[in-house]
Structure 1
Amino acid sequence: MGKKTAVFFMILALLAPVPLAAAQQPAGKVWRIGILTSAWVPWHSQTNGFREGLSQLGYVEGRNVVFEALAAKGDSAVLPALAEELIRKKPDLLFCGAAPEALACQRATRTIPIVFTQTGDPVKLGLVESLARPGGNITGIGSLRGMLTAKRLELFKEIAPSLKRVLVTYDPREHEEKEAVEFARRAAARLGLTLIERPIADPLEIEPGLAELRKGGEEGILIVQANPNLNIPGRSLEVATSNAIPTMYPSSFWTQYGALASYGADQYEQGKQAARLAHKVLTGTLPQDIPVELPRDIKFVVNLKTAKRIGLTVPPEVLFRADRVIR
């Protein structure tokens, strides 16, 4: 074997994937992972993606990993108590679905490693010291929800060329939602759209805001909501469905339930991405040394069934660009 050939095979050997069993896994160790989500059920697109991601890395549920998943069912007021409940079970790691969950866990423990996802800007939220060096016991995946709002509105206009006015509701207490509205405001001016902004900070304000939509005849709804306490996405979809109003969402979760379109990070893939960070932690890397990542999988989804139901013809070139078309 020549010298160059030998070097070539040595490089291949170094690049070859390392089996999980050899990746610093203690023999016989059963990992305990606590999961905290604001969703109505503990297992949904994001948490299922996290579980599947760990499975692909060799973590077999019931054999070398057990999960304890708790759901706040849309009530962020119970998150601190749920976080404490998880900590009492002495998990090796906590996985948090979004900013409210991550903040609750961070306040509850400074020692148990935390991996978060979908948090907006974690530096502004005070979750981490910097993206490159998170510090403390926490790391995870940020969110591009706000920054993607302009592109989301552009696609909305392309899907529905006759769009003139767009209603956007948001929680004025949520930094990410206010930031998203600012992006939408600038994009609307550039696209010749009238953006109708409705701040909603209380569940009791949702119905009047949506009733105004029905009366005013706005031609589209742009969703930027992140606060689980305000079920704006769900209620907006109900109103849009009954009134044949096109909608644009930041998550493909809603397109499967009848939203016209979505553009944003795929929650399932985001969960899998977070699983890779969790694996790093479980195999010995400190969270403070793992840089915060951004979502890798941004998808544009169009629900053609909804388009047909509301009498909208989506331009063929838009369908061609979609990552997924629900027919």
Structure 2
Amino acid sequence: MNFGMILIWLAFITALGATAYSLLKIRTDRQKFGMLSKKLEIACAVTVTLAMLTLILQLLSVNASYDYVFSHSSTDLAWYYRISALWAGQEGSMLLWAWAITMILLVVQYTGSTKQLAGTRLMDLTRMTSLGITSVLLLLLVLKNPFAAYHVVQDVGVELTNWNPFVTLYDVAYGQGMNPLLRNPWMAVHPPVLFLGYAAFTIPFAAAIANLVIKDERWTDIARDWMRVAWLFLTLGIGLGGFWAYEVLGWGAWYWTWDPVETSSLIPWITATAFLHARTRATYGEYQFLAPLLAVLSFILVIFATFVTRSGMWASVHSWQDFSLEGLVIAIFLVVLTGSSVVLLARRYFEDEE
């Protein structure tokens, strides 16, 4: 039985359920919906963690019956490269991203000064938005499962299944291993740092959306520190990526060449920097519109950077594939995020003008 595939499905179902019950709690103010949402959120965090640990174990043992393991791990790789294979492909990196959001959201709710906001509409809306984003990432993993496995079909031969967890796995003797360009010590650091930064952007975005809906200025208490975290990790990620590119690709003795994916990760860094400056004035009653605008825009640009990387529409050393169903889902998600954010921002702008 393919337990990893089942864990991915359970993670998606629990994330979606947590989002739905969170919405019901906001609409009805009934505490039982809030409790159900929190239980499902914890279940999601547990299943995502187990799924990630399971995938790491398969990568370490080079269980090439799984297509992801076959494509990114091999017995000739050192153990740290086998672990790094977790983020060498789009499925594994998406799993890491979803896991990071679930962990960060738990930290926001149960630790630090933001713990005092638990149970408020501001926190409920922040939770719901963050869980909705996690659900989309997990949907992408359902569509292209990191535990897709090879099995034998009678009279047909070996096939790959993305949906059936009950097949008997076909024993593949070896894995083809990691892309030679990725066999570099920076591989162990650059991608996870970048994805942790991307995950941290979720909280300022969700808090800003909550503020735009209910106009609660305490949103900066949630957004401030996590935007700093996002900015720090994105800064480190971009910098480490520059060193890696200089070392492996040369790029004419430059650390930067305006590669499409590289550039798309720089743009949210610029808007995040602007937010951190604007927020210092927002505490004095200034930039009440600009601060949430920058928080929202930063996350939308992160999703745009993801689309640039995963859609295959731009030629880049970072691109993974041609345009596919996953690219379409990300494009739809980007349009929905942008459209809903524009509506909320426009409403706030005209309210402030009155």
TM-score, with length taken from structure 1: 0.27
Which structure would you say has the larger RCO, counting Cα contacts within 8 Å and 6 or more residues apart? 1
Determine which structure has more spread, i.e. the larger CA radius of gyration.
Answer: 1
- Which one has a larger percent helix, Structure 1 or Structure 2? 2
